[in-house]
Amino acid sequence: MIFDAELGPVTHLVVSFPGNTVPTKGLEALRALDESGRIDILDLEFVIKDEDGTVRWVEASDVGAEAFAASASELIDGEDVAEVGEAMEAGSVAIILIWEDRTLMGVLETWSGESGSVLSAGPVAVADLVRVLEDTEEN
């Protein structure tokens, strides 16, 4: 897969569930975001931590998510899986998602056409945001 040099923000999310299958409603909502063009799923992987503590990288079909088999691109490596496994409870399954947020891509393309240049972009730490909002409320 060849990626355009103009990517939106790329981030990751890891969510775990008890048992060895993943609920599908959240995955269906994720697919809807992808199909709408708001996000681009770059990688979607599944990890199981057995009752004995063994961590296994598994196929989508192994956890009841057959419809998402094509979303795996292996951007995540064994080291990432091991790190996720350490955080997981025994007898659980985790979804590891990497996605590109494309929400503002049209706006950025328009600004670029108007000779605009992005000077800065990046995440805002939630703790910093909360602190500023609390300080604002006090004043």
pLDDT in the model for residue 8: 82
pLDDT in the model for residue 99: 94
Q: How far is CA 101 from the centre of its chain?
A: 10
Which residue has better confidence, 100 or 68?
Answer: 100
pLDDT in the model for residue 49: 97
- On the CB side of 83, CA atoms within 13 Å amount to 7
Closest by Cα among 23, 17, 4 to 100:
4
pLDDT in the model for residue 14: 97
Largest CA distance in the chain: 58
Average pLDDT for the chain: 89
CB atoms within 10 A of CB 97: 20
pLDDT tens digits, 11-53: 999 999 999 999 989 999 999 999 999 999 999 999 999 999 9
Instruction: Average the pLDDT over 1-16 and give the result.
Output: 75
- Whole-angstrom distance, CA of residue 93 vs CA of residue 95: 7
